Amino acid sequence: MIRNEQLGAGLWVFGRTVDRYAAGGYGPAVRTLQAIERAGQVGGMANLDINYPFAEPDLPPEKVFEAMERQGLRAAAVSPNVFNSDFPRGSFTSPDPRDRLRAIDIGKRCAEIAHEWGADYVKFWTGQDGFDYPFQADYAELWDLSIRGIEEVARSDPQMKFGIEYKQREPRTHIIFSTAARTLVGIMEMGVDNVGIVYDMGHSLAARETPADVIQLLHRHGKLLGVELNDNWHDWDDDMTVGSVNLIETLEYIYALRRIDWQGPLLLDQFPYREDPMEAVRTSFRTMRALDRLLDKLDLNALAE
């Protein structure tokens, strides 16, 4: 059964959304501490996933921690922001070694903050590490750099857990860690124990994976480090409210988490461009609870047949 202590969301859900046409953003700017207040207004949730560096360069991590405490929230994850315009040529795979060093440094700094905050893991989503055009990339080198970069951060702090969140495309037309199995192969190549996978349902659907199937595969390999929920129209990472399109696959996903007795955080990754973020988050939680109760009632053995 889903517990309040499991529920949570990425902090960006409460920030200002932008798209490539609405460069000015939908709605006014939202500062980091303000976004944490908004998260506190949701009610019935406990966890956050926070990108670092923060939008405000001078904001000390302790201030962020205190703001979370005031709202009864904690950080489940600290996520290195190496996917914005500071890394247009890639982070761990940039042809410029200074970019790669910067990415590694941010990763290490996130691990320190995660220790200070008592977060569960540091989450890498390396959206700029990939390619856009045919004949643009040396694929072997991209793969190698992707693995070596994350491996280096992971080896520097064996007490911390590190997760990779894969995604097939956007912002690059092709991202290196694109599917669950590719990322699993990459982790095997790293040869370290403290790297796992953070599973995002929307990225998985857009990559034509079957959520419940991927959950069992990652669990089988002991590499399921975190899970995120949202929904989309099957071919793009629309970051919509949970179950709003793919209700049956969402039910099966929650059932799969139940079968492996998942007790960790259940985090939302939504972009409520045109919706009130607090309400969008509450709607997702309501749907998740409703599906969870439905599973209580269903004869799961009959379902298995």
Cα distance between residue 96 and residue 115, in whole Å? 30
- Residues in contact with its own copies by the rule CB under 8 A: 16-27, 83-85, 88-89, 127, 132-135, 137-140, 143, 168-171, 173-174, 179, 181-182, 184-185, 188, 207-208, 210, 212-213, 216-217, 220-221, 232-236, 238, 240-241, 244-245, 247-249, 252, 255-256, 271, 273-274, 303-304
Nearer to its own copies, 25 or 264 (CB): 25
Residue 160: phi and psi, rounded to 5, are: -100, 150
Nearer to its own copies, 42 or 184 (CB): 184
Sign for the CA dihedral angle at 281, 45, 17, 235 comes to negative
Nearer to its own copies, 65 or 273 (CB): 273
Minimum CB distance to its own copies, residue 15 (Å) = 9
Minimum CB distance to its own copies, residue 210 (Å) = 6
Minimum CB distance to its own copies, residue 212 (Å) = 6
**How distant, in Å, are the alpha carbons of 205, 215, 225 from that of 264?**
21, 13, 9
Nearer to its own copies, 160 or 240 (CB): 240
Nearer to its own copies, 33 or 245 (CB): 245
Q: Is 57 exposed, middle or buried (0-12, 13-18, 19+ CB in 10 A)?
A: exposed
Nearer to its own copies, 43 or 88 (CB): 88
209: nearest Cα among 170, 183, 190: 183
Instruction: Reduce the DSSP state of residue 200 to 3 states and report it.
Output: strand
Minimum CB distance to its own copies, residue 245 (Å) = 6
Nearer to its own copies, 71 or 246 (CB): 246
Minimum CB distance to its own copies, residue 244 (Å) = 5
Minimum CB distance to its own copies, residue 213 (Å) = 4
Residues in CB range of 301: below 8 A, 6 or more apart: none
Minimum CB distance to its own copies, residue 165 (Å) = 13
Cα distance between residue 165 and residue 40, in whole Å? 25
**How long is the chain?**
305
Left, alpha or beta for 222 (phi > 0: left; psi -120 to 50: alpha)?
left
